[in-house]
Each structure stands twice: as C-alpha cells, then as structure tokens.
Amino acid sequence: MVKSGTIILNTAARLLMPLQLLFSVFLLLRGHDEPGGGFIAGLVAAGAFTLYLFAFGVSATKEVLRMLDPRDLIGMGLLLGMISVVPAWFVGDPFLTAQWWTIPGIGFKASTPLIFDIGVYLAVLGSVLTMVMTLMEVDKDEP
Amino acid sequence: MQLAVLSGFVVAGFAPLFHRWFGDRASFVLAAYPAALALWFLSQLPAVMAGETLVFAMQWVPSLGMSLTFVIDGLSLLFALLVTGIGSLVLVYAGGYLKGHPDLMRFHLAILAFMVSMLGLVLADSLFTLFVFWELTSITSYLLIGFNHNDLEARKSARQGLFVTVAGGLALMAGLTMLGVAGESWSLRELNAMGDVLREHSLYTALLVCVLIGAFTKSAQFPFHFWLPNAMAAPTPVSAYLHSATMVKAGIYLLARLQPSLGGTEMWTVTLSVVGALTMFTGAFLAIRHTNIKKLLAYSTIMALGTLTMLLGIGTEGAMIAFVTFLLAHALYKGSLFMVAGVLDHETGTKDVTAMGGLRHTMPLTAAVACIAALSLAGVPPLFGFIGKELMFESVLEVSAWRWLIMLLAFSATALTIVVAAIVALRPFFGQRRETPRVAHEAPTSMLIGPAVLAILSLLFGLVPVLAGSGLLAAAASAVAGTSVEVKLSLWHGVNLPLLMSLASLALGYLLFKRWDRIRARLACLDPLLSRGPEAGYDALMDGVVVISEWQTRVLQNGYMRNYIMVMIVTLIALVGNSLLLRHAPQFHIALDVQFHEAVVVGIMVMAALFATIARSRLGAVVSVGIMGFSIALIFILFSAPDLAITQLLVETLTVILLVLVLFRLPRFSSLSTPLERVRDVVVAGSLGTLITLLVLTSWSIDQFVPISDYMIANSATLAHGRNIVNVILVDYRALDTLGEIFVLALAAIGVFAMLKLRAPEKPKNSAPAKENADG
Amino acid sequence: MEPVMAIAIGLLYSAAIFLMLRRSIVKLVIGLMLLTNAANLLIFTSAGMTRGAPPLIPEGMLAPEGVVADPLPQAVVLTAIVIAFGVLAFAVVLIRRAYEIVKADDLDKMKDTDT
C-alpha cells in the first residue's frame, strides 16, 4: 500500500533524517532544563526513521539501522533504565535515588537521571519503530 | 538461625537434584537436614530450661514494621523439636513407604517446604511472619493431600482442606490485624505482656472470634472437623506428619501462644472448653463407626485436638501442664500409630481393620510397636499417654462452668478412644489369621525406625517422667501460662478420682470393644443424620458458588462487547453519580474567564469530536480525530505545557501513520444498530458526559489535599539539578513510574510484533483481508 | 476557563462512549482514541489551568518566579499520551488480526471465543 515516494520526498527524507536525529539528541540532552526529554526526543527520532521508511521502504531503512534491530533498542532502553537504579545502592541510598557526577575537563554533568532518560529515549524509539516497521513489512507481504 | 531455617526452602528446591544423585535413597540424605536442626534445637534446651527466651532478631520490611525475628521459648522449642524430630523420622519412613514412586521427588519438595513453613510458624515473633508461614502450611498441605493427583477423591479432599483452612486463614488475618491494632504492636512477645489491655479493649470480642475461627479450622475443631478425615487421602507419611503431629496443631499452637494475651476471660474459657469437649466427643464417637484404619486414627486425632483445645480453655495451671503433656504424648503415639497403619497398608494392601487378623506371627516387630503406641493412646500405665490422661481428668475436675457436660463428654470420649486403641492394636495382629490382598511380611527397617523410636519414647517418658517433665514441658507450660510453672510428673498419684475415672473408662472401653461389630451395625442407622452434618453444609456452599458463578457468567459475560461497556458505564454513573449528587451537594465557585481565541480552539476540538461520531466514512472520522488532537496540542500550548504540546503533536503524526497502515485494511463504516439502540446509547453517553462535567467542576471547588507538586517545584533546581520540572518529575521524582511506563510501551510493541509476525505456520495465506479501495 | 473545559471534556467523553457502544469495530477504535484524549485533558485540567507560566525555572534561578502551572499532571499526561499511542497500536493490530480471522466487522459476531 505504501510505495516508495516521489523525488521530493526521497530528497527531503535523505536530508532531513540526519538533522532530525541530531535534533532528537539535542532535545534529549537539554531535556532536563528546557522543554524536551526522553519521550519527546524518542518520538522525534522515531518520526525521522518513519519518514525514511515511507521514502525508501523497509529494507533500505534496515540498512540504515545496520545491525540494530528496533527490538534490540527496546531491550537496551529498558536495560539502561534498570541500570540507572543501581548506583544509588553503592552509596547506600534507597534505590533510584539520583546520583550526580561532574566529568572533569569538559565540565559535563552526568547523572543517573540522564542515563534513565537515555533509556526512555531508546525504549520509545525502539517501541514505535518496531510497531511501524512490522506493520509496513506485513503490508508489503500482503498485496 | 533464620538462614538455617529458611535454607530449608533451598534444600526443598534442590530435592529433585538430590533425587538424581541418590535415587531412592534421597529420603535418607534429606532426613539429615531436619535431624541436624533437631539436634541444634536440643542443644538450646538447657538455656530454655533455665527460663531464658532466645531471640534472633532480624528485620524484614522495616518500613512496615515487619520483622523476621525468631523466638525460642519453651512452647516454640517443644513444637520445633516435634517438627524437626518427627520430620526426620517421617522422611526416613517415606523412603521406605514411597520407594520407587515416580513422584517421590515432588513429595520431598513439598514435605520439606511444609516443614520449613511449620518451623517458621512456631518460631515467628511477628504477627505478619506468623501469618505468612501459616498460609504456607495450608498451601503445602494442599499439595501433599493431593499428592496422588490422579485420584479424584484425593483432589477433592485436597481442595476441601485448602478451602476450609484458607477460609479460616482469612478470618485469622482479620483477627491478627485487629490484635495488632488493639495492642499497637505486631510482636507476640510484646502482645503477651499486655494481656490486661487487650482483654479490656473494645475490639476484643471481634478479634477473638476471628482468631478462633482461624485456629478452629486449622485444628479441625467442631464444626470444621470434617476436612481432616478426608485429608487421609494423602500418603501415610503425610498423614502421620501433617495431620496428626504438626500442622493440625498449628491452631492449637496459636491458641496456646495467645493464651497469656487473650485467655482467661469468660468468653475464652467457655468457648474453648465447650468446643473442645464437643470436638473430643464427636471425634471419638465418629471414629468407632469406621473400619478404615486411617479414618479411625484421623477421628481419634480430632478427639485429641479437642482435648487440647479444652485444656487451653480450662486455663488453670494444672490444665497447662496437662496441655503440654498431652500434646507431647499424642504426637509420640499418634505419629507412631499412623506409621504402623502405613506399614499395614503397605504390606497387606488393605486399610480395613476387619480384613486383617493374626498378623503378629508374620510381623512381630510391627505388632510390638503398635501395641506400645496403642497402650499409650488408651492411657494404660506405665506409658506416657497415661500421665497425659490422668492430668487431663484432673483438669476437667477443676472446671467451673458447664462442669457436668464437659466431664461427661471427656469421660465418654476417653472410653471411646480406648475402643479405637483396642481396634487398632488388637484387630490386625491378634485373633484369626486372615487372607489379605497382599501376602504380609515384616516391613523394611526404614519403615520401622520411625514408629519404633516414637513408641520407645512413649514408654521411656512414661517410666521416667522426669526426663520429659522437669525440663522441656515445664518451660513449655510456663510459656503457655505466662508465668513460671513447676511440672512434676509421676505415674502414681495415689487412689483419687482421676484414677477411678481412668479405671472406669478402661472397663467401659473394653466392654464397648467386645461389642464393636454390633455397635457399628447399630450406628449405621445414624448415617442419614450424619450425612447432614457440617460437611453437607460445605458441599452445599460449594455448589452454590458454582451456581452463582454460572448465572453471573451468563448474565454479565455474555460475549457482547457493548454490553460489557454498557454495564461498566451504567455502574459508574450509578455509583459516582450517587455519591456526587447525594453526598456532596454540588457547589461551584469558579469564575468564567474565557478569552476569545481559547473559546475558538475548544470549540473546534468539540466540533471535531462530535463530527467523528456522525462521520459516514472512516476517512472523515480519522480526519476529525486528527483535528481534535491538534486542537488539544494548541490547548496545551495556551495553558503552559510546552512538553505536552510537543508530545501531542508528535503522537498525532504517528497516529495518522498508524491508521493509514492499519485502519484502511479494516472494513468500512456500517450502520448496524437500530435507531432505538442509538437513542439509548446517546442517553447513556450523554449522562456519562454530564457526570464527568459535574465531577470536574466539583473537584475544582474542593481542595482536599495539599498538592505535592509544591515540593517538586521548590526543590527541582536545588535537589534534582533540573530546570524543566516536568522532566525532573519523569526521570527523578517519579522515575519508578516512568520505568513501569516504558515497560508497558515495550510490551505493546512486542505484542504488535508477535501478533503480526509470529503466526501459526499451518495457516494458509488466505487470511489476508480483501483488497481495500479508497474510502467513500 | 475551567467551566468551559469541563463542558468540553464532558462532550468528549459522551462522544467517545457513544462510539464505543457501536457494533462496528472501526468505530470502537475511533471511540478509544477519543476516550484517551478526553482522559488526558481531564487529568491536565484537574489541577486548574494557568496561562503563560510553564513549569520551567529560568536559567540561573533556583525557583520559578511567581505561580507556574502544576507540573505533576503534565508529567502524568506526557507519559499517558505516549502509552495511549502504544495501546492504540496494540488495539488496532489486535482488531485487524481478529478481523482477518473472523471476517466480520460486527462485534456481535465475535462473541464466540473459538472461531
């Protein structure tokens, strides 16, 4: 049902996808202070891939994703979410208590909420991509 | 200590592995675990005898005040020794009894798990822990009764035992909760120190009733006694262990444990002594109607449990001594007799005592063990059972309320018990030799060790009562009484009323035994009456449950989706509407402060939603839902929620993609309902909408709680280092919720994948939907 | 603003329930979408509505100036929107599979579990 798009769509997708992905990472990282965050960034990234899907089809998108199956992204996201629970134990706080570290040199503030937010990002991206890609694949199989 | 006990669950889990390593001998290896525990408990004996209470403190869920603290005092130690000691003997016995049984490892698993649960139950100090272990014993008992799961009768009995004890467990939970609330403590030690407060508390009657129901169901007291004889469907080692020596005494243990905190009131005394005496008589009376040796013993166990309850009810110092003595005596002889019954069943292939006879020539050792144990059951000197019975009569004579009734019941029950003892010991082993389904020969050693050890202990404690009396029993009786109690047991008390009663009951018992066959025939005419007993009530209740659930399934779960929705909505309207309109008079004080552009956005949103309901095509409906979604995003922008607006916009976009991919493979819109149905639906939907509107308006007008978000706003930058408060809530304050939510999302995605990709392979490809054209 | 929103939410709920009571499965899906949006709005407005004061703390400050919108319902609704999408996708695919097997868009014909 969904066929590979027109030249305009193809060009737009090729140009827009890297920008969208970059923008999603930007949204993710600034999310703690400005509007943004894991959910929104994940949706933006999913949107980027979906656009690419519509322009070039499932197999091309899979090539872009290389070895990464969207389902692996879900697993990685959930795993990161769970990992962010752990550091608090070492300090003796109740689990999920946020921990903050400043990486020396660049002055970047790393934290368990950031790890957690990346986990949310990957889980949302993986979930939405899994749904859309599966539907498109089935669509392709069935005329 | 906690680890030593709880590691039993681990041992139980590894039972199948032991089985692979040691084959049928796994029983003997596993028996080492309870034996080691028993030795450890024995080593604690001197300290406990000196009047110490050993406390092994351990926290479990400190924020809820739940502890895993174990306490060893005289009563716990007595029970712990019974559980572990008899436990190891039973395991050895089971190694012989169930030899070569394909499910032997399942048996080991369940019985070890039971043993640990029972041990936890008698050692627990916290009411929570006690209750958890209490329920665990019910569940493991269920597994063990239903061990022969191919047998319909066994399954039914297992279910019955489970329902009765778990129903009692529910009552017990309520009772223990009230107890904890009344005493403002969850520790049994603390509660036992404040008996006076508890007995005066306004909750006392209610909590006592609940606790008693729990204890009575567990310990098979009248009128809940019927499940215990049915539980004899279990393999004999289980009957010997759970249904005579340990689990059924859990209720008795609980009553004894609570005696210092709840006992002593008139309600306690009268209920316990009368119910106990009734149970005693019922058990003994129903016993002699049976010829099945296990049923005989089961009913006589009921009689013993009744005796114990009665003694707790009497509550004098003498009664406490009688209680612990009788408890120990009963565990010894009844465990032994059950194992003998198992030997008989195993070797002869029948459980019917009238079908056996003259076995003493082929099974001399078994016969000797059976005789010793039965003499103890009958209460013949010089066995330990005699001392227990004497003390019991002494206590009965001290009763003040309902004295004659209790005396009469106790006396006749004792006489009937003597009949039971005589039947069990004499019928199979003496008299004429009879043909049995299997050719009888002496039992293997593993099956004789258990009963023999217990029988010899009965004899030993009878001959030298100081062994048991001065130390362990004194400590146990002190723990039950709540004060220090001296115990001096002796065989000979001089000629007094209890001795005369013993002699009279012996004589009466002997006479009854001589005429047993005739009496049993006479009693058969009571059958119709007895079949209307409490068990019939239980059956009627169960049938009723089935009838009601069938009815409600037919009416409520009739398979029509919209009926489900309708029922839910109408219930919601009725319940919420009722409390909203009748309980809180609606009062709104909200200023109408609308700006023009906001009104337009809201208007578009509502119009779009309403258009979706009347749209004639799928495309129309999808477009209007889209318009509605974007209007909502605008509302989010207008009312200070930038994060929400972005999310809503993105999701709306993805939703359109989703619908393009799926919805247009679905059928077109069609009108399936009649105009009348539509009018009905409009009315229902309209009233729900009105209700929601009123609800929202009311909720704005009432400020019930201080909003927790003030804390979040104030601390977001300082504590959580984030300036976007919404995001800080998501990833920090409420991160656990978010974690759950991404899991939900992941599950939905995996569900979609599974539904589309993982299909049954044999399905041909024709399940693809018909080709869909553009929508009208 | 609140009374207007209350009435609007009520209307959204009515529309959603009316659609969900239809026998056509596609209408059920549309009703589900309306219902999730209505519920989100309900939660969003439950703490009152504030104009032009997003729950953000300006750079270099420790607390927002003056009153800001309640962030808690916003956080709740944010996850709800994303989850609603997941659930909708699940429901839609479920219905699609059911339709492929039963070949009927009438929910009344789907009442037997063993087709």
pLDDT in tens, A82-111: 888 888 777 777 777 777 777 666 666 778
**Closest approach of A90 to chain B, Cα-based (Å):** 18
The ipTM (two decimal places) reads 0.93
- Mean of the pLDDT values across residues B192-200? 84
The one-character DSSP state at B124 is B
Mutate to test the interface with C, among B580, B587, B672, B733 (most CBs of C within 10 A): B672
CB contact under 8 A, A135 and C82: no
Position A2 confidence tier, pLDDT thresholds 50, 70, 90: very low
Does C21 reside within a domain? yes
Asked if pLDDT for residue A43 goes beyond 50, the answer is yes
Mutate to test the interface with B, among A131, A137, A140 (most CBs of B within 10 A): A131
Asked if pLDDT for residue B776 goes beyond 50, the answer is no
Residue in chain B nearest A131 by alpha carbon: B749
Cross-strand bridge partners of residue A108: A103
Q: How many CB atoms are located within 10 Å of the residue C34 CB?
A: 29
How many whole angstroms separate alpha carbon B467 and alpha carbon B451?
20
Which chain C residues are Cβ-neighbours of B767 within 8 angstroms? 100-101
Position C41 confidence tier, pLDDT thresholds 50, 70, 90: very high
Task: Extract long-range pairs of A19-24: CB within 8 Å, 24+ residues apart.
Answer: A20/A44, A20/A45, A20/A47, A20/A48, A20/A51, A21/A45, A21/A48, A24/A48, A24/A121
Which chain C residues are Cβ-neighbours of A33 within 8 angstroms? 56, 59
For position C113, what pLDDT does the model report?
A: 52
Judged by a CB distance cut-off of 8 A, whether residue C100 touches chain A is no
Q: Which of B156, B128, B162 is nearest to B58 (CA)?
A: B128
**Closest approach of A72 to chain C, Cα-based (Å):** 17
Residue C78 maps to which CATH number? 1.10.287
CB contact under 8 A, A113 and B653: no
- Mean of the pLDDT values across residues B698-702? 77
Which chain C residues are Cβ-neighbours of A123 within 8 angstroms? none
Average pLDDT of chain B is: 84
Q: Which one has a higher pLDDT value, B223 or B584? A: B223
- Mean of the pLDDT values across residues A1-11? 67
Q: How many CB atoms are located within 10 Å of the residue B105 CB?
A: 17
Mutate to test the interface with C, among B678, B700, B732, B738 (most CBs of C within 10 A): B700
- Cα torsion through B542, B546, B547, B552, rounded to 10: 140
Asked if pLDDT for residue C16 goes beyond 90, the answer is yes
Q: What is the pTM of this model?
A: 0.70
For position B713, what pLDDT does the model report?
A: 82
Mutate to test the interface with C, among B564, B719, B729, B757 (most CBs of C within 10 A): B729
CB contact under 8 A, A37 and B731: yes
Q: How many CB atoms are located within 10 Å of the residue B495 CB?
A: 9
Encode pLDDT of B300-310 as tens digits: 899 999 999 99
Mutate to test the interface with C, among A43, A131, A142 (most CBs of C within 10 A): A131
Q: Which one has a higher pLDDT value, B695 or B494? A: B695
Q: How many CB atoms are located within 10 Å of the residue A74 CB?
A: 27
Tokens of C16: 């959603």
- Chain A and chain C share a number of CB contacts under 8 A equal to 16
- Neighbours of A, requiring at least 3 CB pairs below 8 Å, are B, C
Q: How many CB atoms are located within 10 Å of the residue A67 CB?
A: 6
CB contact under 8 A, C26 and B618: yes
The values of phi and psi at residue C23, to 5°, are -90, -15
Does C65 reside within a domain? no
- Percentage of chain B lying above the pLDDT 70 cut: 95
Position C110 confidence tier, pLDDT thresholds 50, 70, 90: low
Q: Which of A62, C15, C31, A50 is nearest to B658 (CA)?
A: A50
Total of domains in chain C: 1
- Mean of the pLDDT values across residues C57-85? 85
Which chain C residues are Cβ-neighbours of B635 within 8 angstroms? 41
Nearest to A134 among B646, B722, B756 (CB): B756
Nearest to B650 among A40, A136, A138 (CB): A40
Judged by a CB distance cut-off of 8 A, whether residue B763 touches chain A is no
Nearest to B724 among A34, A43, A124 (CB): A34
Does C58 reside within a domain? no
Q: In what helix (H) or strand (E) does residue B140 lie, and over which residues does it extend? A: helix B127-145
Judged by a CB distance cut-off of 8 A, whether residue C115 touches chain B is no
- Cα torsion through B214, B220, B223, B229, rounded to 10: 150
Q: Which one has a higher pLDDT value, B688 or B698? A: B688
Q: At how many degrees (to 10) do helices A38-56 and A112-141 cross?
A: 30
Position C52 confidence tier, pLDDT thresholds 50, 70, 90: confident
CB contact under 8 A, C78 and A35: no
Judged by a CB distance cut-off of 8 A, whether residue C43 touches chain B is no
Nearest to C56 among A34, A39, A124 (CB): A34
Nearest to A39 among C59, C78, C93 (CB): C78
**Closest approach of B706 to chain A, Cα-based (Å):** 24
Q: CA-based diameter of chain C, in Å?
A: 64
Which chain C residues are Cβ-neighbours of B642 within 8 angstroms? 54, 56
> Which of B546-560, B675-689, C44-58 has the highest average model confidence (pLDDT)?
B675-689
CB contact under 8 A, C82 and A124: yes
How many whole angstroms separate alpha carbon B145 and alpha carbon B387?
33
Position B209 confidence tier, pLDDT thresholds 50, 70, 90: very high
How many whole angstroms separate alpha carbon B477 and alpha carbon B78?
10
Which residue is it, tokens 């059928």? Answer: B667
Task: Establish how many alpha carbons lie within 13 A of residue B64's alpha carbon, considering only the half-sphere containing its beta carbon.
Answer: 9
* Beta-sheet pairing, A108-111 with A100-103: antiparallel
Position B770 confidence tier, pLDDT thresholds 50, 70, 90: very low
Judged by a CB distance cut-off of 8 A, whether residue B758 touches chain C is no
CB contact under 8 A, C14 and B688: yes
Q: Are A88 and A99 contacting, i.e. CB atoms less than 8 angstroms apart?
A: yes
- Mean of the pLDDT values across residues B460-479? 80
CB contact under 8 A, A134 and B752: yes
Position B632 confidence tier, pLDDT thresholds 50, 70, 90: very high
For position B773, what pLDDT does the model report?
A: 40
Q: Where are the domains of chain B?
A: 263-353+360-524, 533-557, 560-588+671-698, 595-669, 717-754
Position B3 confidence tier, pLDDT thresholds 50, 70, 90: confident
For position B766, what pLDDT does the model report?
A: 47
Least confident of B38-42, B313-317, B400-404, B420-424: B400-404
Tokens of B91: 């395991």
Nearest to B590 among C2, C27, C77 (CB): C2
Position B747 confidence tier, pLDDT thresholds 50, 70, 90: very high
Which chain B residues are Cβ-neighbours of A100 within 8 angstroms? 721
Mutate to test the interface with A, among B640, B721, B726, B731 (most CBs of A within 10 A): B731
Counting Cβ atoms within 10 Å, is residue B10 exposed (0-12), middle (13-18) or buried (19+)?
exposed
Tokens of B258: 């609570």
Q: Are B275 and B221 contacting, i.e. CB atoms less than 8 angstroms apart?
A: yes
CB contact under 8 A, B746 and A77: yes
CB contact under 8 A, A35 and C56: yes
- Neighbours of B, requiring at least 3 CB pairs below 8 Å, are A, C
Q: Which of B507, B749, B26, B402 is nearest to B11 (CA)?
A: B26
The domain in which residue C7 lies consists of 2-50+72-104
